[in-house]
A and B are shown apart, each in its own frame.
Chain A
Amino acid sequence: MALTITCPVCGKRNGYEFKFGGEEKGPRPEEKDLTPKAWCDYVHMNQCVAGVQKEWWFHKDGCGSWFTIYRDTTTNLEKEAGLANHQEADKS
């Protein structure tokens, strides 16, 4: 796997060592006023960005922590957090 991922504990490592945990969607919704549709959207709907997205990874063959990175889905390259934020800001 050409992808490398920077684990906050172990540093930059081969993508083999990690497991994908989906897009960053924020914490579980609150119980109050939760509709089945809102719940379903939270669990199943994705943005599928063609560009830089914030996403979760698990260091399976390492320290065993969950963390987020920014990755350009078009090049499969990890991006610096600052850069990604900048690009997100540009879009909005």
Chain B
Amino acid sequence: MSGPKDAVGETMGETLLAVDGVSLGFGGVKAITDVSFDIRKGEIRAIIGPNGAGKTSMLNVINGFYHPQQGRITYKGQTRSRMRPYQAASQGIARTFQNVALFRGMSTLDNIMVGRTLRMHRGLFWQMLRFGPAMREEIDHRRHVEDIIDFLQIEAIRKTPVGKLPYGLQKRVELGRALAMEPELLLLDEPMAGMNMEEKEDMCRYILDLNRHFGTTIALIEHDIGVVMDLSDRVVVLEYGHKIADGTPEEVKADPKVIDAYLGVGH
């Protein structure tokens, strides 16, 4: 008997998504300037940087919410300069938000069920009936959602309206909704923002379990450097819209440019 083998790097494979020379500006403000990096299948990829470095903009570019003025994005071998959010979603990119964006009046179960919408095939007519193919489909989806509830250990709040839940749990429900899409690439925008130590540890465990057991590729933005270094396989560092470093956590940590960006020059 022995503990878990170190699985890092074993599951990493081909490139899932490549960002190539992307620039994005809003009027005169340059949010992202000529940034390139790739995300490989099965890895946990972190995007870090000081406030205003363009991290969330980068995530928005990846899932098609913003359209870059220059550069290309290649996802699963297909290159396009513009990808719309619904295309991204239907091709297996799911995300969570920096500020929780759930339906506050709906239960945990219903919120996660929403994540299955894209995978429901029957039309309005069948959905209105409580029998027939739409019902069978719904049972399948419910089964899937229950797996997620079990995975995230939120059985006790299954029927609770999410507005009544503490923040840490809401974040977990949001992760659940993203998982319901069965994503190939999961984008997490500050999954641990505003959490206490215990909630952070829980969240780390879920992210690692997800990655190891379901092979989900994860790109995450995070402020807590300790978390990032423990969790990720590779890290991209942005500052003022420029990429200043890219590599394993150890490489990035030792990079003088990164130290300057975080601690200021002349430390």
Whether chains A and B associate is no
Residues in chain A within 8 A of chain B (CB atoms): none
